[in-house]
């Protein structure tokens, strides 16, 4: 298994995919919560627009409106579903029930938030891989088989602008740049990321939280 080989400094059986490298990078910076937004009939473009509107409303009502919401996530549309859904990893809790009026007005339903166990690197990586693996497998995830393929014109995942990440979450900014840099080998990437992700990676099976997340959407 690639993760165990990285952890023990052994040669990899294969190269990591781009999304697997990004999953390692994101997990190493300790996202704290998992947010799901679901639509009935919106396209990915429409969902992205509605999310930006919701984001503005959230940031206006935050106690620190000068500190933007940091998020990373992926869009997906289930086979036979009329609308898209969006899975987002968050760095910091957002009390979404206070925004249910706004989410319902935007056709996003009642946003569902789950806390990610903050001290368990294996669990954090499992949830990150679930969030990013909406259109392709990430470390063995398989929910992509339930979704429509990603259109070439659509982004693989969603996050704030680079300048926002560089200012407000420098660790995530640097980790993502390392993951995307093809000149950085998988072993070097693993060694350069924050130590959190190297502290507890073990077997990567289906956990209770992944089961719960799977029940929230397609």
Rg (alpha carbons) of the chain, rounded to whole number: 17
Whole-number pLDDT of residue 153: 62
Which residue has better confidence, 76 or 206? Answer: 76
Q: Any idea which residue has 């869009």 for tokens?
A: 75
The sheet carrying 112-115 orders its strands as 71-76, 85-90, 33-38, 112-115
Query: What integer is the mean pLDDT of 50-66?
Result: 82
CA end-to-end span of the chain: 27
Of the listed ranges 141-150, 168-177, 204-213, the least confidently predicted one is 204-213
Query: What integer is the mean pLDDT of 70-92?
Result: 87
Predicted confidence band of residue 59 (pLDDT cuts 50, 70, 90): confident
- Taking the C-alpha atoms of residue 43 and residue 45, their distance in angstroms, rounded to an integer, is 5
Q: Any idea which residue has 């900014």 for tokens?
A: 173
If phi > 0 it is left, if psi is from -120 to 50 it is alpha, else beta; for residue 115 that is beta
**pLDDT at residue 209 greater than cutoff 70:** no
**pLDDT at residue 190 greater than cutoff 50:** yes
Which residue has better confidence, 25 or 190? Answer: 25
Using DSSP, state whether 218 is helix, strand or coil. coil
Of the listed ranges 10-19, 63-72, 208-217, the least confidently predicted one is 208-217
- Residue pLDDT, tens place only, 111-140: 888 899 877 788 888 899 989 988 888 888
Q: Residue 56, class by beta-carbon neighbours within 10 Å (0-12 exposed, 13-18 middle, 19+ buried)?
A: exposed
**Model confidence, pTM:** 0.81
**Closest residue by Cα to residue 154 from 29, 57, 48, 83:** 48
Q: Residues 141, 144, 146, 148: what is their CA dihedral angle, to the nearest 10 degrees?
A: 180
Whole-number pLDDT of residue 63: 67
Residue 23 neighbours by CB under 8 Å, 6+ apart: 125, 128, 129, 132, 133, 138, 139
Whole-number pLDDT of residue 70: 94
- Taking the C-alpha atoms of residue 138 and residue 209, their distance in angstroms, rounded to an integer, is 17
**pLDDT at residue 157 greater than cutoff 50:** yes
Q: Any idea which residue has 């990915």 for tokens?
A: 44
Taking CA atoms, 88 is separated from 69, 75, 160, in Å, by: 11, 9, 12
């Amino acid at each position: 298994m690639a993760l165990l080989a990285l952890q023990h400094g052994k040669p990899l059986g294969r190269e990591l995919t781009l999304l697997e490298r990004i999953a390692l990078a994101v997990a190493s910076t300790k996202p704290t919560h998992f947010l799901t937004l679901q639509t009935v009939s919106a396209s990915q473009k429409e969902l992205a627009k509605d999310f930006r509107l919701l984001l503005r409303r959230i940031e206006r009502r935050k106690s620190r409106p000068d500190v933007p919401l940091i998020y990373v996530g992926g869009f997906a549309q289930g086979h036979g579903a009329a609308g898209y859904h969006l899975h987002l990893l968050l760095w910091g809790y957002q009390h979404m029930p206070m925004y249910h009026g706004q989410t319902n007005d935007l056709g996003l339903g009642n946003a569902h938030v789950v806390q990610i166990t903050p001290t368990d690197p294996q669990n954090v990586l499992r949830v990150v891989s679930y969030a990013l693996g909406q259109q392709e497998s990430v470390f063995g995830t398989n929910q992509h088989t339930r979704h429509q393929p990603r259109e070439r014109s659509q982004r693989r995942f969603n996050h704030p602008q680079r300048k926002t990440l560089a200012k407000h979450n420098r660790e995530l900014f640097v980790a993502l740049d390392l993951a995307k840099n093809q000149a950085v080998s998988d072993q070097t990437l693993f060694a350069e990321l924050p130590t959190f992700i190297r502290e507890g990676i073990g077997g990567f099976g289906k956990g209770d939280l992944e089961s719960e997340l799977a029940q929230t959407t397609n």
